[in-house]
Amino acid sequence: MIARGSGILIHLTSLPSRFGIGDMGPWAYRFVDFLVQAKQNFWQVLPLNVTTPDHYSPYTSPSAFACNTLLISPELLMEDGLLAESDLGRPEFPTDFVDYPTVQPYKEELLRKAFSVFRTKRDCNYDRFVAENRTWLEDFALFRAFKHRFDQRVWSDWPYEIRDRHPEALASAAQELRDQMELERFGQFIFRKQWSKLAEYCRSKGVQILGDIPIYVDYDSADVWCNPQYFKLDERKKPYVVAGVPPDYFSETGQLWGVPIYRWDILEQDGFGWWIRRLEHNLEFCDFLRIDHFRGLAGYWEVPANEQTAINGKWIEGPSKRFFKALLKRFPRIPIIAEDLGIITPDVRELMRDFEIPGMKVLLFSFGDDQPTNPYTVHNFEKNCIAYTGTHDTNTIRGWFDAEASWEQKNRLREYLGREVPVEELHWELVRLLMMSVANMVMFPMQDILGLGNETRMNYPSRSKGNWKWRLRPEQLEEHISNKLASMTTMYGRA
């Protein structure tokens, strides 16, 4: 069970920097210092996986193991002697949102420059990193090299001998593509080096990192290309069913994710080894892992691949307790947090209870007409949970109040607080509600700590474009905010 504490949710992309996107450089350390000043114990980030130019979602990635090299800090590359100030140019990027189409080529060119210098030096730590991560790194590097060679086509459309991984064809291609593969290995090495340094700084300051992984992997990924036997694919190696969720709070037609579904029967034959390796790997980056769409481990929504919405799906039983019993053989405690929002059935609750896995409570969901019995209402919380004002998928407090809340919801909020609260103070009152609750951990999106509106929302689950862009401006990390948060954290026994 997680000890009583509190923390802030903000992804690395949202931090300030002079390079158009947050990274693992100086401002990441300043943010950790802000957490310390505010007496926060946790920093929650979104998945660190590689993203794609389709929509830059951290929940859709070409690898369940490789990390996002857009988060590499040019300043730290300069400290290592791999870049010079003249290499950086004079970039002019927006300060309050990420312009991905401009940022990506700029950062990729910097990485290539650093790589050209690195190749002349060599580093025994690099050789060790490659050897220790060979089980996933070689496949990922080759996958990315093939994506470049075949004009970013989906792997199932590659020449059949490459698509089907004929050993002679792969060995020959690896020789031809060795420079591109080495660049991919280098990017992962530098990410790990910079993240390890940042994570150690967090530990030295008493800040624990809460990471995040999506339950599913993208079809066009190294994972599915290398392990097609683990997924429900047809004879052409195309998904015949895909994952999603039925209609719910977020969408009247459900969410059709289009990602392949696991063949849990095959995964179970080797004790869920692929999943255990995935969790081991991701836990090298953080102290706890939130599994997005946790309920898919108990039962998942399976939709025929030719459907246009998620309405015509059906529930299929997942690996459930067998999976978690296998995890217990590897982990003395299961350092997992369940994203258990949406339609949750008794079998999911039983699974969480049996293995003492904490779930999530979202305060913004609590002001409906069922407020007295609503599980997200503060007086119904249990200790072993993580309570949020909102998440990356919801509006901010201010955005919800201004643009989404009905008159009835606003009235219930007013009655629950016991007084009329000026709208500019509302975010602090809801932060206080969670702080005084029994929930062991409470988590606040940075936008809610700052009282920001709808324009700073991180993600709309029903939209495929325009998400993941919000950035914190340097001047917003004001001392009076950290002081107020520290005072509240101390008062309610979370410091």
* pLDDT tens track for 454-466: 999 999 987 888 9
Is the pLDDT at 149 greater than 90? The verdict is yes
Q: Give Cα separations from 349 to 289, 344, 354, 491 (angstroms).
A: 18, 7, 9, 32
Element (H, E) at 314: strand 314-317
Q: Which domains does the chain have, with CATH numbers?
A: 5-491 (3.20.20.80)
| pLDDT single digits (tens) 78-112 | 999 999 999 999 889 999 999 999 999 999 999 99
Q: Which two tokens stand for residue 167?
A: 């050993």
The mean-pLDDT minimum among 183-197, 247-261, 264-278, 301-315 falls in 247-261
Residue 250: per-residue pLDDT: 66
Compute the mean pLDDT over every residue in the chain, rounded to the nearest whole number. Answer: 96
211-261 confidence digits (pLDDT tens): 999 999 999 999 999 999 999 999 999 999 999 988 877 678 888 999 999
Q: Which region among 177-191, 249-263, 481-495 has the lowest average model confidence (pLDDT)? A: 249-263
Q: Are 137 and 185 in contact (CB under 8 A)?
A: yes
Query: How high is the pLDDT of residue 123?
Result: 85
pLDDT for the residue 52: 94
Structure tokens at 21: 């996107």
Q: Is residue 269 helix, strand or coil?
A: helix
pLDDT for 464 equals: 82
Q: How confident is the model at residue 333 (pLDDT cuts 50, 70, 90)?
A: confident
Helices (H), 64-154: 74-79, 85-88, 100-118, 124-132, 134-149
Report, as residue numbers or ranges, the catalytic residues.
292, 339, 393
Q: Has residue 343 got a pLDDT over 80?
A: no
Supply the pTM of this predicted model.
0.96
